[in-house]
Chain A
Amino acid sequence: MQNEIAIKDYLEIWNSTYTDDPSLEDEHLDSEVLYKMALRGGIEGAGKYETEHLSMCPKCLREWASWRRAVSAVEETNEKQEEYKEVMAYGLLKAAATEGITEPVTLTSECGRFTLSVFPQVDAPEQGIITLETPEEGPETCEENFAIVRDKNGLVLLEGKVQNGRLARKFDNLNRIDLSTWTVVVE
């Protein structure tokens, strides 16, 4: 419709202008309050001041909406109890310097199912071999399944079918790896 007033577009302008409005700065609602308002029927239970502020503050509206999505995702997860075939795991390494691997490292995932090892070459420590090991048989086996291992920054360390309980490859840039968090996804 040619004469349709685009409320959405006007609200976008309002959003971008009022997001950094300094007059609202000291009045923003706490995360705890926004979380409670994001629960089912939470608006109804909120006070007048909170509802007034929320409905006129782009920043609080955004946080409230993200709490809404979080609450819904938790509710959906509890309700549907979906079966999944993927396996997800992670491991953590807290070290003084996590960037770059210069000496052999062996890490076990939090679930204990996977072992990630990095073996730098003695003469060229930025190059080396990365391996993932997992039980070859039994209930925890991932044999013949596709696995991806990533470092904290999303760098793919290993990718491929698990065979004989193992996945391995040569890696040329061990100095780029950050193992402070590493993840395994098996499909």
Chain B
Amino acid sequence: MTKIHLLITKEETRLVKRIASNVLSKYFPAGKRDSASKDELYHWGIVGLCEAKQRYDKSRGIPFPAFSARRIEGEMLDNIRKLPIVRLPQEKQNKVKELKAVKEELLKTGESVAPENLALRLEWSLEEVHQVINLSPTIKFLDNTTQDEDDDRVPGDIIKDDSLNPEELNMKKQIADYVNRCLEALDANPDRIVIQGRFNLEQTLKELADELNCSIQQVSNIQRRAEGLMKDCLKKQGLGQ
């Protein structure tokens, strides 16, 4: 048996803690923390750190702290995905599926998917709709695949739904093409980056301000303008009437 010596530093311990704390607050807001404990995340973080130490290639020009931070978070998220499989009651899983089906139906016809409209269609209370919407990121963890090195999915990402029939898939592709056209019509920087950051990646105004090297107010203004352009374009394509 050969033992490998790879010392862990205080800064790295601090980094694991920081990432665990970010992951907990992002994916397990107050009241839902029973799904993952801090010490479990620390464990996965340390495992990720070990892997990073073993795989790190200095010649690629990425500093080790950033390289390891990405691997630490990846390992935590890989394992979170496997967690709530048996913990979400069947009844709640069905509710999430029901809501998803109605939402897709509304999107196909270009109708509003605002919680109020979903409540009306589902004949649920608004509060119930919000509760089930909040469960949705959790149910996406039900996908039992593991993350490989090139798979950058994070909880909340869309998992390809193979249950759609060809006609539905075609409809979905058509909507996606319209959306693509509207995205292409925006300036890549900053409009499209801001739209993707805010609505696709759920980044905060501050995060985008850092990325774009401008003020939060400027990002807010860019968002308002780009959102308007995007909505106008989607309307022209017959979506969201």
A interface residue numbers (CB < 8 A to B): 1-20, 31-32, 35, 38, 40-44, 48, 51-52, 54-56, 58-59, 61-63, 65-74, 76-78, 80-82, 84, 86, 88-95, 107, 110-111, 148, 150, 152, 154, 181, 183, 185, 187
Contact = CB atoms under 8 A, between A and B. Distances in A.
Contacts of B132: none
Tell me if B's interface is mostly helix, strand, loop or mixed.
helix
Given A88-B8, A181-B50, A10 B107 contact: yes
A55 B19 CA distance: 26
B60 A5 contact: no
A66 B154 contact: yes
Nearest to A96: B1
Contact of B192 (A8, A17, A48, A55): A55
B84 interface: no
Interface of B: 1-8, 11, 13-19, 22, 39-40, 42-44, 46-47, 49-50, 60-62, 65-67, 69-70, 73-74, 79, 103, 107, 112-114, 116-117, 152-154, 157-161, 172-173, 175-176, 179-180, 183-184, 188-190, 192-193, 195-196, 199-201, 203, 207, 210-213, 227, 230-231, 234-235, 239-241
6 contacts: A14-B176, A51-B189, A72-B207, A73-B15, A111-B7, A154-B79
Nearest to A148: B39
Nearest to A72: B207
Contacts, number: 235
A62 B14 contact: no
Contact of B235 (A5, A9, A84, A90): A5
A73 B60 CA distance: 20
Contacts of B114: 1-2, 4, 6
A183 B42 contact: yes
Most buried by B among A41, A63, A73: A73
